Amino acid sequence: MKKKSNLLIILLVSIALSHCAFSGNNSWDSQVRGSEEMPENIRHLVQKLSTKSKKVGNNTGLAITYPFDGTVFPPEIAAPVIAWDEASTASNHWLIVVEFSSQRSPIYALADKQHWAPNKPIWEAIKANSIHDPAKITVYGFDHKHPDNITAKNSIRISTSKDRVDASIFYRQVQLPFKVGKKNFKKIKWRLGDISSYEKPPVVMENLPVCASCHLFSKDGTLISMEMNYKDDSGAHFITPVRENIELSEEDFITWNDFPKPELLPKTRGLFAKISPSGKYMVSTVHEISYAALTNDLAFCQLFFPTYGVLAWYSVDNRKFHLLPGADDYDFVQTGPSWSWDEKYIVFARSNTKNEYHEDITDIRTHIEDAGIHELNERFPIQFDLYRIPFNQGKGGTPEPLEGASHNGMSNYFPRYSPDGKWIVFTRSRTGIMLQPDSELFIIPAAGGEARRMRCNRELFNSWHSFSPNGKWMLFSSKANTPFTEIFLTHIDKNGIDSPPVCLSRFSDDHYAANVPEFVNIGPGAIKRIRIAGHR
């Protein structure tokens, strides 16, 4: 039974993936070439449309699964795969019609599979003509046996923003389920992606002998920082200038373990450390104790959250660590800090400590659990609230709960400021702080206020979001299509209104989850390789 269900999952995953990955078939841009040159098979179907299409309404069992209705694309993005799903098996070939509200002629395409990837010229034409008004994409289903009938039909509208992304995306790929071990570390890859590219983003770091994790860049993209267990120091973190070939050496590393700790506590990892936008400071959870359980579930293979910890900051200039007043209360766990872009504020997640979850606080272990994420969540609930303090050059201040993101019966975490300082987007779920099936993105005014669920949220797991440097776009991860997390991109307007997202299908992989994506203010190719000196 289990085997069968696994097969089913794989099948479903494959189908879902195909929506993001398949390339196009026959297409015809009637604006570019006259109708007399139109291939016969397309012409035949187009003619039928004029007589039959009005008799066929939408929702005839055909659903366009991608793009989503209302999706806004960046102007520089490479072509997506348009995919649909027909519940019945009535159709065996499909006509795709892209219509524009302007006088521009439609674009036609014929597919014998349930997806179509426009080629670059076609896609560029679609984008260019969907800036002011959306383009309408309609998919018609036909059956060879009954060539006169339209068996299915559905439409969506997409548009293209004038706002460019103008940034690369740095992200990590890991195999699932995630198991701790050197063997797995070596398989982890880091890629630097360009959304305009039709190629898979190049790998810039791989085959590491140690674990590496969260990373962030300075606002101007000149500095990269990343958690990396250099020389087996789990608190090690490198900060180094961005360059084509980054060779990491001793002087690039700091270690959060240099922050004095009470003897009883385990070594500090520098959990969820964040470099400040200017690159002058870092802030991180220190003195932390975490609960970690690994499971064999492909999608939700770990439950992880700190049960104890305070925030400390680090001065990059004078290489000194300090507790951050206001986020240094040992009666709580304070974690997941985030800088405002002007470095005036730090927002972080706070919860009552949960050290009772550890059998022996002096001997913290990663649990291997034969239980699903929902059962683990029931057994180990934790809810975080978002608090804000002034950074105040390290002097901190009084923590204030953020309205809309605190004391709402949910867990609120991973806050990120919009670059214009107006908004905070955070993740919310019933419990936990990471990898939660029900996690969704919410947006609030930066000083707190009513929380609004974002339109970009997909059905399953939405988190790890990052704003583009110009603030117009936000990317995030989701498992809506596959357990192997994918990266999505949503447009955010000046009112904080987001759009149904774009799936960055070329960033996806059948065997790797794409996670911790971060926008970086550099062009493609700015980093070609990152490696540890002396290591291949």
Please, which of residues 181-200 interact with another protein by CB under 8 A? none
Among 2, 145, 199, 264, indicate the residue that binds another protein (CB under 8 A): 264
Among 249, 330, 378, 453, indicate the residue that binds another protein (CB under 8 A): 330
Considering the complex, state which of residue 281 and residue 308 has its C-beta at the smaller distance from another protein. Answer: 308
Tell me which DSSP letter residue 505 carries. G
Considering the complex, state which of residue 308 and residue 476 has its C-beta at the smaller distance from another protein. Answer: 308
**Position 359 contacts another protein (CB under 8 A):** no
Would you state the structure tokens that stand for residue 494, as one six-digit string?
Answer: 């000046």
**Position 171 contacts another protein (CB under 8 A):** no
Would you state the structure tokens that stand for residue 413, as one six-digit string?
Answer: 């975490």
CB neighbours (10 Å) of residue 38?
Answer: 15
How many residues in the shown chain lie near another protein by CB under 8 A? 14
The H or E element that residue 6 is part of is helix 2-21
Instruction: Report in angstroms how near the CB of residue 265 gets to another protein at its nearest.
Output: 8
Q: Count the residues in the chain.
A: 536
102 to 46, 51, 140, 286, 292: CA distances (angstroms)? 20, 23, 22, 58, 56
Instruction: Report in angstroms how near the CB of residue 356 gets to another protein at its nearest.
Output: 6
Please, which of residues 130-149 interact with another protein by CB under 8 A? none
Instruction: Report in angstroms how near the CB of residue 123 gets to another protein at its nearest.
Output: 57
Q: Which stretch binds another protein (CB under 8 A): 122-130, 226-234, 260-268, 398-406?
A: 260-268
**Position 262 contacts another protein (CB under 8 A):** yes
**Position 361 contacts another protein (CB under 8 A):** yes
- Three-state SS for 3? helix
Considering the complex, state which of residue 14 and residue 355 has its C-beta at the smaller distance from another protein. Answer: 355
The H or E element that residue 247 is part of is strand 245-248
Among 14, 23, 47, 362, indicate the residue that binds another protein (CB under 8 A): 362
Q: Which stretch binds another protein (CB under 8 A): 86-94, 180-188, 348-356, 447-455?
A: 348-356
Instruction: Report in angstroms how near the CB of residue 209 gets to another protein at its nearest.
Output: 24
Instruction: Report in angstroms how near the CB of residue 7 gets to another protein at its nearest.
Output: 45
Question: How far is it between the farthest Cα atoms of the chain?
Answer: 82
**Position 466 contacts another protein (CB under 8 A):** no
212-217, strands of its sheet edge to edge: 212-217, 223-228, 236-241, 253-255
Q: Which stretch binds another protein (CB under 8 A): 184-192, 359-367, 399-407, 432-440?
A: 359-367
CB-based contact 150:172 (threshold 8 Å): no
Nearest to 507 by CA among 485, 525, 491: 485
102 class by beta-carbon count within 10 Å (0-12 exposed, 13-18 middle, 19+ buried): exposed
The H or E element that residue 412 is part of is strand 411-417
**Cα three-residue angle 68-73-74, rounded to 5 degrees:** 160
Angstrom distance (rounded) from CA 209 to CA 212: 9
Q: Provide the mask over 269-298, with x wherever binding to another protein is found by CB under 8 A and - wherever it is not.
A: --------------------x---------
Interface residues with another protein (CB under 8 A) are 262-265, 289, 308, 330-331, 353, 355-356, 361-363
